[in-house]
């Protein structure tokens, strides 16, 4: 009889301990103070950095870490398991790749558009006035690699105009193209209007009408792997809402 009582007591204690363990190990549904990681196209650096400050003000204790790079590189990193909560692409093609890989938790939302321009040295010493002028003898041109959104857009312009560029290099992000121009390593680079605007007096922007044939639409989405999906969604909502749209417009982006 005493042995039976002892066994019962041990079993009751074990059950109580298990219940307590389960109750303390349950993940909290609160995302207050969450640290989220955003993978974003390089051209978004200025606008998203400003938006992140607003996000931290709206969500005390929260933080936003960014990885800015060419959208194609970001998709490759994500498909290889890189941890992130939000993905913002400079085109729909790379977002589609993320969707096909099963990386998204829902449908992406378009939040901005961007258009190409030609960035040249201040004062335009080579006299570049059109897209075709990029083929003039003695003009060194840098573009984005074809898999990168700005590279894909450049190819569209080439097809539309019948002009084939012979770049001295093809870069993995639009910021790398801009850097080649600002450091004097190239005479001209095909970049986004937002990048040329952000460079200020370091470059002169030369617009060309054919750019209207290759407008890039930017989508954003929460990633399925996110451990802070509510916090990630709040960032997406901020980008697509009025505060985010104001910051994007300030940087030179147009509405989607």
- Annotation: binding site: 43, 71, 174, 192
Strand partners, 117: 191
Contact assessment for residue 66 and residue 89, using Cβ atoms and an 8 Å cutoff: no
Closest listed residue to residue 220, CA positions, set 115, 99, 116: 99
Find the length of the chain: 256
Contact status, residue 219 vs residue 27, Cβ threshold 8 Å: no
From residue 211, give the alpha-carbon distance in Å to each of 56, 130, 158. 36, 11, 10
CA 148, 103, 29, 241 torsion: positive or negative?
A: positive
CA–CA distances in Å: residue 150 to residues 62, 64, 191 = 32, 26, 7
In the annotated binding site for molybdate, the residues are 43, 71, 174, 192
CB contact set of 106 (below 8 Å; sequence gap of 6+): 221, 222
């Amino acid at each position: 009889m005493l042995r039976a009582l002892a066994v019962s007591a041990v079993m009751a204690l074990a059950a109580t301990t298990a219940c307590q363990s389960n109750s303390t190990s349950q993940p909290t549904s609160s995302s207050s103070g969450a640290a989220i990681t955003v993978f974003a196209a390089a051209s978004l650096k200025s606008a998203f950095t400003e938006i992140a400050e607003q996000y931290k003000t709206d969500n005390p204790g929260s933080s936003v870490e960014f990885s800015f790079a060419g959208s194609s590189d970001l998709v490759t990193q994500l498909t290889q398991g890189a941890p992130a909560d939000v993905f913002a692409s400079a085109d729909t093609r790379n977002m589609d790749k993320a969707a096909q890989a099963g990386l998204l938790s829902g449908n992406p939302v378009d939040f901005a558009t961007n258009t190409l321009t030609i960035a040249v040295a201040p004062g335009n010493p080579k006299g570049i006035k059109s897209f075709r002028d990029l083929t003039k003898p003695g003009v060194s041109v840098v573009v984005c690699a074809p898999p990168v959104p700005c590279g894909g857009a450049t190819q569209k312009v080439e097809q539309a105009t019948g002009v084939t560029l012979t770049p001295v290099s093809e870069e993995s992000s639009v910021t790398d193209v801009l850097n080649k121009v600002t450091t004097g390593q190239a005479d001209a680079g095909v970049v986004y209007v937002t990048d040329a605007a952000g460079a200020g007096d370091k470059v002169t922007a030369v617009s060309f009408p054919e750019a209207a044939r290759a407008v890039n639409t930017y989508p954003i989405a929460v990633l399925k792997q996110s451990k802070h999906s509510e916090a990630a969604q709040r960032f997406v909502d901020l980008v697509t809402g009025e505060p985010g749209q104001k910051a994007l417009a300030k940087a030179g982006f147009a509405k989607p």
